[in-house]
Amino acid sequence: MQIRPILATLKHHKAGTLLIAMQIALTLAIVCNALFIIRQRVSHLSQPSGVDEANVLVVLNEWAGKPSPGEIASLMAADVDTLRRLPGVADAYASNTYPLSGGGIAFGIGHSPDKLKPVSTTAIYFADQDALPTLGLKLVAGRNFRADEIGQVDRHGDIQPGAIIVTRGLADRLFPDGSALGKTAYISRQPSTIVGIVERLQSPWVDSGMAEWADCSTLVPYRQLTAATRYVLRVRPGQLEDVRRHVRAALYAANRMRVISPKDGVRTFAEIRADAYKSDRGMAILMGVISVVLLAITAAGIVGLSSFWVGQRRKQIGVRRALGATRHDILGYFLTENLLISTVGVLVGSVLALGLNLWLMKQFELARIAPGYVVAGVVVLLLLGQGAVLAPALRASRVPPVEATRSV
Amino acid sequence: MLAYYLQLGLRSLRRNPVLTTLMVLAIGFGIASSMTTYAVFRAVSGNPLPSRSSQLFAPQIDIWGPQSRAQGVDLPDALSYTDATALMRARKARYQTAIYPVGHTAIPQDAGSEPFAVDGYATYADFFPMFDAPFIYGGGWDAGQDDARASVVVISSQLNQQLFAGADSVGRTVRLDDHDYRVIGVLADWNPRPRFYDLDNNNGFADPPGFFVPFTLAVDLQTETRGNNNCYGSTGRAPGWQGWLQSDCAWVSFWVELPDAAAVQAYRNFLQGYMAEQDRLGRFRWSPYYTLRDLTQWMDYEQVVPPETRISLLLSLGFLLVCLVNTVGLMLAKFMRRAGEIGVRRALGASRREIWAQFLAEAAIVGVVGGLVGVLFTGIGVLGIGLVFEPDIARLAHIDVSLVALTLACALVATLGAAFYPTWRAARVQPAWQLKSN
């Protein structure tokens, strides 16, 4: 295939050529970055929480009438008892928060009691001996809390646990040599001994600002006696919906001086997850829609302009055919022409894509785009261009040689 | 003449229905995606209090010192209880108020109904005049009642509806948790968005708060904050409520109204002096550092507009740009195909200006139809916004007359802009050359 005559023809259509190349370049820049954002958001929202999500239910309870901490302690104990006796419930405990909830306590954790230079930030989960089995956490080293270790603390009481259970992510940060078990760390002025390590327990927050320590959680052996109590329930397989329907009524039957929202007071982990990652999912959907429509419009634009060019050159095509060019030659001509334009477009587009990424990185703290996305984008756009030009090029190849003799 | 050109334009557009549909759809999609994301952006970036925004300021005080910032800890966006009450006592601004979010359970009088949860704020008397809060019944409390820790409450119209069926409830009693309050005022439907006075604790777009109670009383009753409580280090904190109040934990929002530049300067001097005094007393051992941002600066600082909203808007604009480039290409092809026709018109005496008018009229038709399609798609987009953005934000975005007008105007301007180059080329067609070649 001769490239020179193609270049000569393109010189006559400078503006059109430039416009297609520009469109391809801009499309590449936007689609690459959109795909990259989608990939990041999807990997963010599919992070495992460490919880056996299919069988865990959370009840958000608030005590009415401001009971004292002492009263709350007995109310909580009575509730946990009620919940355990509910058909379908395998285990239950009370805490301040749960993964992906969006609210809770975070402390600095480190090697000195003043905590002015903590090693990491950690989410604090109030737990008792039933927390691990209820959440379905996997203990990879050490032991669970014992019932006699569990203390009680009100809102402003000192949280100074003698024993703590940490996630492997946090253990590795505190003791990079892997020797965390049995060592002490400071979340308060008093030393706490790491008695157990769980494989994973995500923090309550999914925001990008807290992503750095999302896998750094600490379980402390306390019951927190405050107005808001979260009950975490483990249900027997297949009974999630059943328990969910009855749990609110059962708690109200035991004691009415409480508020459990009829709307979202009882939540499955599927709902919790959907809620926590709503903006991630939304962003991925939006970027996906924009990418698809953008590619469609660019393809349509190429079809439109190529068809027009074919129509304009019918006579020349006829002449070439009359002079011995095969259908195949004509088809090849238009495909090559498109490939040349697209190549210029994707070259410029790759630079634009990287530039746009740099700019987004600066403005929105996005990560650096992996070169694979640009390569994938280039391949997609080249294929798209060839696909779009195929129909008009086939039409061109069917122009009969007799066209050369007809006037326009 | 314009009518005739429009007619010509219509006829020409009908001749290539596929190309025309393509152009209209490209404009429609491009405009609609930009307008949908703009509707969201507009909803979240609005000024909640335009008449006062340049007079309202939020101070930040460096209570944790340079060492904390070396550790990557920002200046706290709230004040400690100690500083907030000291600034309240000093009364150096025209209006000032400390604010913190609280939550209570409301216990209905009739034994049959269940208690329900309601959120509100603990604040000072100045809150209501300072933020232009409108009342339907009664009014706010006064500074004397702040000092007296009076058991009064201002309730929202929603809570008034829920508890008193919307009647004038001033003087009636509301039981929140274990305490009785006398209703002193009922607010009209009032929920500035974003909720600028509590940005350190919520995203700014939640439902309106149910009630307001005196800050002094709330602290007396040991009402916990429902917002953030940020502490640095572990020293200097005693257990218990009093220990917390005396700690350097930051949890109180603070706003002042400073009517003019002189007042702002005076308040800066006061903050500087206050910090220097604390330094002398041995509390801060570093040189005074504070910020005083006005409402719009504060909204920027707190990043009220989520990055998602900005990125979406930017990428949608990029999308529109591609659609326009696409339209330029298609129009160029379409116009240049009619070089012969243009040649004949020019030879028969039409001026370049008339060719311009003819082709811009044709483009205008595409722009208007594209705009109408854009309005349709924007409508669909706004309906589907809940799939993509936070529900609190999504329900704020709405389509109104100004958005429709803007959509049409943008479509028209963008299309005419895109038609500029193709039309310029069309007007430059040499009549002699065209006539000869045929």
B330-379 pLDDT, tens digit per residue, is 898 888 888 888 888 888 888 999 999 999 999 999 999 999 999 999 99
The span from the CA of B40 to the CA of B33, in Å, is: 11
Q: For residue A58, what are the contacts with CB-CB under 8 A and spacing of at least 6?
A: A98, A101, A230, A231, A232, A233, A266, A267, A269, A272
Interface of B with A in 101-140 (CB under 8 A): 103, 105, 107, 114-117
Residue given tokens 């025209």 in the structure block: B94
φ, ψ of residue B45 in degrees (nearest 5): -105, 5
Interface of A with B in 142-161 (CB under 8 A): 155-158
pLDDT at residue B309 is higher than 80:
yes
The span from the CA of A233 to the CA of A59, in Å, is: 8
**B131: helix, strand or coil:** coil
Shortest CA gap A330–chain B (Å): 21
Shortest CA gap A318–chain B (Å): 18
A304, B330 contact by CB (below 8 A): yes
Ordered per-residue pLDDT tens for chain A, 408 residues = 578 888 888 887 788 889 999 999 999 999 999 999 999 999 999 999 999 999 999 999 999 989 999 999 999 999 999 999 999 999 999 999 999 999 999 999 999 998 888 999 999 999 999 999 999 999 999 999 999 999 999 888 889 999 999 999 999 999 999 899 999 999 999 999 999 999 999 999 998 888 889 999 999 999 999 999 999 999 999 999 999 999 999 999 999 999 999 999 999 999 999 999 988 998 999 899 999 999 999 999 899 888 888 888 888 899 989 998 899 999 999 999 999 999 999 999 999 999 999 999 988 878 889 999 999 999 999 999 999 999 999 999 998 888 877 764
The whole-number pLDDT of residue A114 equals 84
Q: Which class for A156: exposed (0-12), middle (13-18), buried (19 or more C-beta within 10 A)?
A: buried
Here the tokens at position B24 are 């209209």
- Bridging pattern class, strands A222-224 and A151-153: parallel
B431, B346 contact by CB (below 8 A): yes
φ, ψ of residue A393 in degrees (nearest 5): -70, -40
Residue given tokens 């009518």 in the structure block: B3
Shortest CA gap B269–chain A (Å): 30
Shortest CA gap B228–chain A (Å): 9
The whole-number pLDDT of residue B299 equals 92
B390, A278 contact by CB (below 8 A): yes
Residue B118 is classified by DSSP as E
Residue given tokens 């009064």 in the structure block: B152
Q: Closest partner residue to A23 among B234, B315, B326, by Cβ?
A: B326
The span from the CA of B275 to the CA of B283, in Å, is: 9
**Cα end-to-end span (Å), chain A:** 28
Residue given tokens 């005590």 in the structure block: A63
φ, ψ of residue A156 in degrees (nearest 5): -115, 15
Per CB-CB distance under 8 Å, the chain A contacts of B24 are: none
Q: Pick the closest to residue B32 from B386, B437, B379, B423 (CA basis).
A: B379
Q: How many residues does chain A have?
A: 408
Per CB-CB distance under 8 Å, the chain B contacts of A298 are: 322, 326
Closest residue on chain B to A310 (Cα): B333
Q: Closest partner residue to B329 among A283, A285, A305, by Cβ?
A: A305
Long-range contacts of residues A236-245, Cβ cutoff 8 Å, at least 24 apart = A236/A55, A236/A88, A236/A89, A236/A90, A237/A54, A237/A55, A239/A87, A239/A88, A240/A54, A240/A55, A240/A57, A240/A268, A242/A87, A242/A88, A243/A57, A243/A86, A243/A87, A243/A88, A243/A89, A244/A57, A244/A268
Interface of B with A in 56-75 (CB under 8 A): 67-68, 71
Average pLDDT of chain B, as a whole number: 91
CB contact under 8 A, A294 and B319: yes
Interface of B with A in 360-389 (CB under 8 A): 387-389
Interface of A with B in 368-407 (CB under 8 A): none
Residue A280 is classified by DSSP as H
**Region at A98 (left for phi over 0; alpha for psi -120 to 50; beta for the rest):** beta
Here the tokens at position A120 are 């990491």
The span from the CA of A265 to the CA of A55, in Å, is: 17
A64, B105 contact by CB (below 8 A): yes
CB contact under 8 A, A290 and B33: yes
The whole-number pLDDT of residue B74 equals 83
pLDDT over 70 percentage in chain B: 98
- Bridging pattern class, strands A191-198 and A163-167: parallel
Shortest CA gap B19–chain A (Å): 6
Q: Pick the closest to residue B134 from B213, B216, B49 (CA basis).
A: B49
CB contact under 8 A, A259 and B117: yes
Q: Which tens digits make up the pLDDT trace of B169-208?
A: 999 999 999 999 999 999 999 999 899 999 988 778 888 9
**B168: helix, strand or coil:** coil
The span from the CA of A208 to the CA of A365, in Å, is: 9
Per CB-CB distance under 8 Å, the chain A contacts of B330 are: 301, 304-305
pLDDT at residue B51 is higher than 70:
yes
Residue type, B393: I
φ, ψ of residue B398 in degrees (nearest 5): -145, 165
CB contact under 8 A, B329 and A20: yes
Q: Pick the closest to residue A298 from B30, B288, B90, B222 (CA basis).
A: B30
Please indicate if any CB of chain B lies within 8 Å of the CB of A351: no
H/E element, A131: helix A131-135
φ, ψ of residue A196 in degrees (nearest 5): -150, 155
φ, ψ of residue B412 in degrees (nearest 5): -65, -50
A144, A128 contact by CB (below 8 A): no
Q: Which tens digits make up the pLDDT trace of B240-261?
A: 899 999 999 999 999 999 999 9
Please indicate if any CB of chain A lies within 8 Å of the CB of B321: yes
Q: Which class for A183: exposed (0-12), middle (13-18), buried (19 or more C-beta within 10 A)?
A: middle
Query: If you average pLDDT over residues B72-79, what whole number do you get?
Result: 88
Position B163 confidence tier, pLDDT thresholds 50, 70, 90: very high
Choose the mutation target among A210, A297, A364 for the interface with B, i.e. most B CBs under 10 Å: A297
CB contact under 8 A, A305 and B114: no
Q: CB count, 10 Å around CB of A252?
A: 14
**Cα end-to-end span (Å), chain B:** 28
CB contact under 8 A, A158 and B239: yes
Per CB-CB distance under 8 Å, the chain A contacts of B32 are: none
Here the tokens at position B226 are 């429902």
The span from the CA of A59 to the CA of A244, in Å, is: 9
Please indicate if any CB of chain A lies within 8 Å of the CB of B226: no
Per CB-CB distance under 8 Å, the chain A contacts of B116 are: 259
User: Chains A, B: CB contacts under 8 A, how many?
Assistant: 155
Per CB-CB distance under 8 Å, the chain A contacts of B29 are: 293, 297
The residue that leads in pLDDT, B287 or A59, is: A59
Interface of B with A in 327-366 (CB under 8 A): 328-330, 332-334, 337
Q: Closest partner residue to B337 among A116, A252, A308, by Cβ?
A: A308
- Full DSSP string of A201-253: ---S---GGGGGGTT-EEEESEEE-SSEEEEEEEE-TT-HHHHHHHHHHHHHH
H/E element, B183: strand B179-187
Shortest CA gap A156–chain B (Å): 5
The whole-number pLDDT of residue A252 equals 95
The whole-number pLDDT of residue A407 equals 60
The residue that leads in pLDDT, B271 or A4, is: B271
CB contact under 8 A, B333 and A309: yes
Q: How many residues does chain B have?
A: 438
Per CB-CB distance under 8 Å, the chain B contacts of A227 are: 103, 224
The span from the CA of B168 to the CA of B138, in Å, is: 9
CB contact under 8 A, A156 and B244: yes
The span from the CA of A260 to the CA of A252, in Å, is: 9
Q: Closest partner residue to B330 among A15, A64, A301, by Cβ?
A: A301
H/E element, B116: strand B116-123
The whole-number pLDDT of residue B437 equals 58
φ, ψ of residue B292 in degrees (nearest 5): -140, 95
CB contact under 8 A, A304 and B337: no
- Bridging pattern class, strands A222-224 and A258-259: unpaired
- Full DSSP string of A86-130: STTEEEEEEES--TTSS--EEEEEBSSTT-SS-SEEEEEEE--TT
Q: Closest partner residue to B22 among A15, A158, A300, by Cβ?
A: A300
The whole-number pLDDT of residue B185 equals 97
**Rg of chain A in Å (alpha carbons):** 32
Here the tokens at position A37 are 């954002």
